[in-house]
Amino acid sequence: MNKQVKVLVIEDDPYICDLIFLYTEKSGYQVSIANDGITGLGMFYDRPPDLVILDIMLPEMDGWEVCEEIRRFDKTPIIMLTGRGESYDKLKGFSLGADDYLIKPFDPNELMARIKAVLRRANPMLIGNEIIKLPLLEINLQQYKVTFKDREIELPPKEMELLYFLALHRNQVFTRQQLLEQLWGLDYEGDSRTVDVHIKRIRDKLGESNSYWKVKTIRGI
């Protein structure tokens, strides 16, 4: 990360707070916790975070009110937590401006995946360097520009983001599903082969005759 991402957790259940704190801190985030809505809102204004994890059922001021108040002035990403899974709650959360919605009990690894996905959609620069430089290749996500062998290569936004993600996580292997979740979102319902199509287009534009690096497929994975 080019900066430590600040996460504000507004949740009154001590066990859930401890669980979220453990996983988010392990992932490299800077975490603050409030146990009621009014305190949480005050912490939000005193030290603006990059993302808010917000419970719905809170003392003093519920999550709906907190979300609505934040959205009056700010677009900081919000992931809402609730023990209820009714579609009405989801629709209300999204109508108030929530970016994602997770039902308790939840897998903390899924929460981490959703945090990354929401941060990437809101501000890709939060999860990596603005410019990645490899031999013969420069990827500038701030300007959405790729330079290869000293010439600019035209890449649509999704191809750009995919190339950036792979270059940011060099020597790591990702399944199609992982790439879809990271770049297309957890709710993507299209064909998983769209990843193959984008990879092929990237290879066609950058070529394979490069001894410094390559976009490599691990068959079966």
Does the residue 32 lie in any domain? Answer: yes
* Domain of residue 65, CATH code: 3.40.50.2300
Residue 63 belongs to what domain range?
6-125
Per residue, the 3-state secondary structure of 134-158, as one string, reads: ECCEEEECCCCEEEECCEEECCCHH
Same domain (yes/no): 153, 69: no
Q: How far is CA 157 from the centre of its chain?
A: 16
Domain boundary among 125, 156, 190: 125
Same domain (yes/no): 119, 150: no
| pLDDT tens digits, one per residue of 76-126 | 999 999 877 666 777 777 788 888 888 888 999 999 988 988 887 776 555
Same domain (yes/no): 10, 119: yes
Output the six-digit token pair for 8.
């504000």
Same domain (yes/no): 85, 160: no
Structural domain count, the chain = 2
| pLDDT tens digits, one per residue of 156-197 | 888 988 998 888 888 889 898 888 877 776 556 778 789 999
